[in-house]
Amino acid sequence: MLSVSNPLLVVEHLTMRFGGLIAVNDLSFSVGRGDITALIGPNGAGKTTVFNCVTGFYKPTEGRLALARSGIAAAQDVADLTQSGAQHKQMPSGDIYLLERMPDFRIAHKAKVARTFQNIRLFQGMTVLENLIIAQHNPLMVASGFSILGVLGIGGYKASEQQAVEKAKSWLERIGLIDRADDPAGELPYGAQRRLEIARAMCTDPVLLCLDEPAAGLNPKESLELNTLLRSIRADHSTSVLLIEHDMSVVMGISDHVVVLDYGTKIADGTPSEVRNDPKVIAAYLGVDDGDEMNPAHGGAK
Amino acid sequence: MATTNKNDDGFNWAFALKEAAFAAIITAGLSFPILALRTDMDISNKLILNQRWSWLIVAAVLVFVGRLAVLSYAARPKSTRAASTAPQSDSSKFIAKWISAVGLLALFLFPIVVTSALGGQGALKWINNYGVQIMIYIMLGWGLNIVVGLAGLLDLGYVAFYAVGAYAYALLSTHYGLSFWICLPLAGILAATWGVILGFPVLRLRGDYLAIVTLAFGEIIRIVLINWVDFSGGYAGVSSIPRITFFGLPFNDNVGSFSNFFGLTYSPIHRTIFLFYLILCLALLTNYVTMRLRRLPVGRAWEALREDEIACRSLGINTTSTKLTAFALGAMFAGFAGSFFAVRQGFVSPESFTFLESATILAIVVLGGMGSQIGVAIAAVVLIGGTELLRELEWTKQIFGQDFDPAQYRSLIFGAAMVIMMIWKPRGIVSTREPSIFLKEKKSVSGDLVAEGHG
């Protein structure tokens, strides 16, 4: 297991059972602050289940998911917080949240974990701009006095909304969709929808961005653009990225840390070059015949 | 139901005729026992069989012609169909802007114009049966539009909140002597509370399940009102509810009344006109609040909830409280409308709050175009005004005989209108969605992209 010196998210002994089926079995790994961590594995390995546990869409059967919104999730403090029975506490090492105790929307709102979906979930009938404004729901809700002041027209809601629009505009410029701001999201081409979903997640100001197969269905040029976008997210924002991906040019190109799952258990955990050469990974996941996919020249080394 | 779209330049007559003939044969087969055969009792109380073959032929011919018309409509060139999104043309923007302004002005002038044209007695019917009646349904439609149109939660028991509002005023005013102006907000708050009470258990339900539970809730309220006689008077209802006053001035012929105070000759039309303006203001309040909320985070969250609930949760939106606010707000407006109903009628009974009422309000919302305020208003005028108009068609008796009552055909016409609408405009009269915010140019979103909500 790669030792992460500044863990943002520490997953310990995560197990998820659906009736008799064990989707994730005693999985432990860490996500470093400021890193891009990739979660890979064959279809049905349990990657999306891990995501659903981290983002609260599933309640894990067993295990602990500790996230430090600021600082680091130090082992002693995480243990103390677990003892206290609370969801969240400001600990000496950091502002720690226990995700397995929180409902999904609170994880997004309070612990600041944003996610995208394998099958894109945009608000199709709403415009591109509206999609990005809705992502800023919680701060705007406070600004509108929980709608009561907003209906009466009292308070600084207009200014806050303008700020939200500015933020949306800066993201639209970044993903190259500024000219389509007033078009319905459902009319965008597939690649643009993927980028918009990432921008929408980023509008919630996350500390951890979870991307579920962001490169699925993209052509090579679009995958390259995605790499650039993800690198720039890491460089310009204090956002760490956890991603599930099958496209090895993305995984090997941008990841700092790769965790490999197979049948719900972790089979490898390390830097891309370590994982690439791990015989277990080659055997179980990539297969001998697909070994050429892992060629650095093809995949594009860092 | 194959269409002949392949053949774009010409209309496939052979196919259409075959289809139409087939439809006519089915009609003849299905309606044969009802239309062609009729049993009557003769003078000695014996059953005799009358044959009415002409009826059957008329029905079959009507269906034949109708099917042919539908097919030729479906086969028209594709280019005439609307593109999925087109920026609004200047003329349509102009129309959209003026239709509400002109409509509003017309509504405010309506009682004055009608009274001066027809005089007190003649105007009473028009203002009461058309004006007030339609405005109540517009308000209810706008209230339900929040729940069904914006938040996408299918509510089949909306009339329950209307009942709560009506009984709130009826009971509070008869037992405690509270005035209408105090009861109005109380009725709204009570209805909203019931909205939340209903909302809590059904939050996890979606789509059909939600619809069934809300339907049951509507029936529960009605049945409680029927059976809890000590509380609500049962079938007898609550009568002699205090009538509306002009902020304390009663509408009657006595000293200190409205007409006396303003030095007018007493006429019952004064009360009706006041009621009209009152419901107009209440409906406009509903509209104003809804339009404002649509541009606030909570309104956007409702629409986002209708589009995709899971995505909402992933963005940190508390879907529970979002749904509850939609239920509570929709219920509150129904409560206002209910207490207005009670003060207008002076009498409430469970008979007024049947499932048919919920269905009518829902039909107004669906027909209007879910989420569209102006569409709902137009649909209410067409459905409720149309029903009232059927009573006016005295001349039809000269064609069909003295026994003919066009109002009896209300449900039939209502049903046919719904079917035709669903074929012609499946997403309602106004099928496009107006974005709540725009950067450069406001473009309507095609109804094809907008989700209907899954509960």
Residue A199 has what pLDDT?
92
pLDDT of A126 above 70 = yes
Residue A293 has what pLDDT?
47
Q: Which residues of B touch A (CB under 8 A)?
A: 84-85, 289, 292-293, 296-298, 300-301, 303-304, 307-308, 310-319, 325, 433, 435-443, 445-446, 449-451
The alpha carbon dihedral of B345, B348, B349, B353 has a sign of positive
Average pLDDT over residues A131-142: 87
Give the pLDDT band of residue B187 (cuts 50, 70, 90). very high
Task: Please answer yes or no on whether A147 and B438 come within 8 Å at the CB atom.
Answer: no
A211 or A147, greater pLDDT: A211
Q: How far apart are CA A113 and CA A205, in angstroms?
A: 9
Q: How far is A125 from chain B (nearest CA, A)?
A: 4
**Is residue A19 domain-shared with residue A106, that is, in the same domain?**
yes
Q: A164: which chain B residues are within 8 Å (Cβ-Cβ)?
A: none
Mean pLDDT of chain A: 82
Give the pLDDT band of residue B138 (cuts 50, 70, 90). very high
Q: Which among B294, B296, B452 is the top mutation candidate for probing chain A, defined by the most A β-carbons within 10 Å of its own β-carbon?
A: B296
B13 or B380, greater pLDDT: B380
Tens-place pLDDT, residues A247-275: 777 788 888 888 888 888 888 888 888 88
Order of strands across the sheet with A208-212? A113-115, A208-212, A240-244, A36-40, A257-262, A265-270
Q: Which of A152, A169, A204 is the last residue of a domain?
A: A204
Residue B84 has what pLDDT?
44
Q: How far is B450 from chain A (nearest CA, A)?
A: 4
Q: Which domain holds residue A84?
A: 1-112+207-302
Residue of A nearest to B298 (CA): A147
Residue of B nearest to A137 (CA): B297
B397 or B214, greater pLDDT: B214
Residue A301 has what pLDDT?
37
Q: B454: which chain A residues are within 8 Å (Cβ-Cβ)?
A: none
**Is residue A245 domain-shared with residue A190, that is, in the same domain?**
no
Average pLDDT over residues A204-208: 89
Give yes or no for A295 touching B (CB within 8 A): no
Q: Which of residues 206-265 of A touch B (CB under 8 A)?
A: none
> If DSSP states are collapsed to H, E and C, what string results for chain B?
CCCCCCCCCCCCHHHHHHHHHHHHHHHHHHHHHHHHEEEEECCCCCEEEEECHHHHHHHHHHHHHHHHHHHHHHCCCHHHCCCCCCCCCHHHHHHHHHHHHHHHHHHHHHHHHHHHHHHHHHHHHHHHHHHHHHHHHHHHHHHHHHHHHHCCCCCCCCHHHHHHHHHHHHHHHHHHCCCHHHHHHHHHHHHHHHHHHHHHHHCCCCHHHHHHHHHHHHHHHHHHHHHCHHHHCHHHCECCCCCCEECCEECCCCCCCHHHHHCCCCCCHHHHHHHHHHHHHHHHHHHHHHHHHHCCHHHHHHHHHHHCHHHHHHCCCCHHHHHHHHHHHHHHHHHHHHHHHHHHHCCECHHHHCHHHHHHHHHHHHHHCCCCHHHHHHHHHHHHHHHHHHCCCCCHHHHHCCCCCHHHHHHHHHHHHHHHHHHHCCCCCCCCECCCCCCCCCCCECCCCCCCCCC
Q: How far is B9 from chain A (nearest CA, A)?
A: 29
Among B296, B304, B442, select the one facing A126 at the smallest CB separation: B304
pLDDT of A216 above 90 = no
Task: Please answer yes or no on whether B440 and A200 come within 8 Å at the CB atom.
Answer: no
Q: Which of A145, A178, A204 is the last residue of a domain?
A: A204
Give yes or no for A127 touching B (CB within 8 A): yes
Give the pLDDT band of residue B235 (cuts 50, 70, 90). confident
Task: Please answer yes or no on whether A106 and B316 come within 8 Å at the CB atom.
Answer: yes
Q: Which of A34-38, A131-135, A194-198, B436-440 has the lowest mean pLDDT?
A: B436-440
pLDDT of A72 above 90 = no
Give the pLDDT band of residue B1 (cuts 50, 70, 90). very low
Q: How far is B298 from chain A (nearest CA, A)?
A: 7
Bridge partners of B364?
none
pLDDT of B90 above 80 = no
Q: B437: which chain A residues are within 8 Å (Cβ-Cβ)?
A: 127, 129-130, 133, 161, 165
Q: Is A235 exposed, middle or buried (0-12, 13-18, 19+ CB in 10 A)?
A: exposed
pLDDT of B148 above 80 = yes
Task: Please answer yes or no on whether B297 and A147 come within 8 Å at the CB atom.
Answer: yes
Q: Which among A106, A113, A141 is the top mutation candidate for probing chain B, defined by the most B β-carbons within 10 Å of its own β-carbon?
A: A141
Per the CB < 8 A criterion, the answer to whether B271 and B264 are in contact is: no
Tally of domains within chain A: 2
Per the CB < 8 A criterion, the answer to whether A139 and A205 are in contact is: no
Looking at chain A, the whole-number percentage of residues with pLDDT higher than 70 is: 91
**Is residue A138 domain-shared with residue A8, that is, in the same domain?**
no
Tens-place pLDDT, residues B92-134: 566 667 777 888 888 888 877 877 777 767 777 788 788 888 9
**Is residue A232 domain-shared with residue A157, that is, in the same domain?**
no
Looking at chain B, the whole-number percentage of residues with pLDDT higher than 70 is: 92
Triad A85, A91, A96: Cα angle to 5°:
65
**Is residue A100 domain-shared with residue A130, that is, in the same domain?**
no
Give the pLDDT band of residue A302 (cuts 50, 70, 90). very low
Per the CB < 8 A criterion, the answer to whether B119 and B112 are in contact is: no
Contacts 24+ apart (CB under 8 A), A81-89: none
Q: Which of residues 188-217 of A touch B (CB under 8 A)?
A: 200-201, 204
At how many degrees (to 10) do helices A190-202 and A157-174 cross? 140
Average pLDDT over residues B131-146: 91
Residue of B nearest to A142 (CA): B297
In angstroms, how far is CA B222 from the centroid of its own chain?
20
Task: Please answer yes or no on whether A135 and B315 come within 8 Å at the CB atom.
Answer: yes
Residue B385 has what pLDDT?
86
**Is residue A40 domain-shared with residue A142, that is, in the same domain?**
no
Residue B386 has what pLDDT?
84
B207 or B28, greater pLDDT: B28
**Is residue A5 domain-shared with residue A100, that is, in the same domain?**
yes
Q: Which of residues 44-63 of A touch B (CB under 8 A)?
A: 55, 57
B301-312 CB burial, b ≥16 within 10 A, e <16: bbbbbbbbbebb
pLDDT of A228 above 50 = yes
Give the pLDDT band of residue A10 (cuts 50, 70, 90). confident
Q: Which of A149-158, A181-190, B90-99, B282-291 has the lowest mean pLDDT?
A: B90-99
Residue B163 has what pLDDT?
93
Task: Please answer yes or no on whether A204 and B315 come within 8 Å at the CB atom.
Answer: yes
Task: Please answer yes or no on whether A121 and B314 come within 8 Å at the CB atom.
Answer: yes
Residue of B nearest to A54 (CA): B314
The CATH number assigned to the domain holding A268 equals: 3.40.50.300
Residue of B nearest to A140 (CA): B297
Domain ranges, ordered by start, for chain B: 13-76, 106-356
**Is residue A13 domain-shared with residue A107, that is, in the same domain?**
yes
A117 or B387, greater pLDDT: A117
- Whole-Å CA distances, A301 to A1, A271, B72: 21, 12, 62
Residue A283 has what pLDDT?
79
Q: B287: which chain A residues are within 8 Å (Cβ-Cβ)?
A: none
Residue A300 has what pLDDT?
38
Give the pLDDT band of residue A298 (cuts 50, 70, 90). very low
Q: How far is B186 from chain A (nearest CA, A)?
A: 18
pLDDT of A295 above 50 = no
Strand, helix or coil at A107?
A: helix
**Is residue A147 domain-shared with residue A219, that is, in the same domain?**
no
Q: How far is B453 from chain A (nearest CA, A)?
A: 11
**Is residue A82 domain-shared with residue A198, that is, in the same domain?**
no
Residue B10 has what pLDDT?
63
Tens-place pLDDT, residues B53-76: 888 888 889 999 988 888 887 776
Q: How far apart are CA B53 and CA B170, in angstroms?
A: 54
pLDDT of A41 above 60 = yes
Mean pLDDT of chain B: 82
Residue of A nearest to B448 (CA): A125
Q: Please choose, from the candidates B316, B300, B322, the residue with its C-alpha nearest in 3D space to the C-alpha of residue B203.
A: B322
Give the pLDDT band of residue A78 (cuts 50, 70, 90). confident
Residue A25 has what pLDDT?
86
Average pLDDT over residues A138-142: 82
**Is residue A97 domain-shared with residue A223, that is, in the same domain?**
yes
Give the pLDDT band of residue A286 (cuts 50, 70, 90). low
Helix (H) or strand (E) holding A109: none
E strands present in chain A: 7-18, 21-32, 36-40, 62-71, 88-91, 94-98, 113-115, 208-212, 240-244, 257-262, 265-270
Q: How far apart are CA B148 and CA B217, in angstroms?
A: 16
Residue of B nearest to A183 (CA): B443
Looking at chain B, the whole-number percentage of residues with pLDDT higher than 90 is: 19
Task: Please answer yes or no on whether A147 and B446 come within 8 Å at the CB atom.
Answer: no
Strand, helix or coil at A284?
A: helix
Q: How far apart are CA B101 and CA A43, in angstroms?
A: 58
pLDDT of A297 above 50 = no
pLDDT of A292 above 50 = no
Average pLDDT over residues B296-300: 90
Task: Please answer yes or no on whether A109 and B316 come within 8 Å at the CB atom.
Answer: yes
Q: A146: which chain B residues are within 8 Å (Cβ-Cβ)?
A: 298
Residue B52 has what pLDDT?
80
Residue B454 has what pLDDT?
59
Residue A287 has what pLDDT?
59
**Is residue A251 domain-shared with residue A136, that is, in the same domain?**
no
Q: What is the interface pTM, i.e. ipTM, of the complex?
A: 0.85
Tens-place pLDDT, residues B312-369: 999 989 888 898 999 999 999 999 999 999 998 888 889 889 898 898 899 889 888 8
pLDDT of B164 above 50 = yes
Residue B285 has what pLDDT?
92
Tens-place pLDDT, residues A17-32: 888 888 888 888 888 8
Q: How far is A141 from chain B (nearest CA, A)?
A: 6
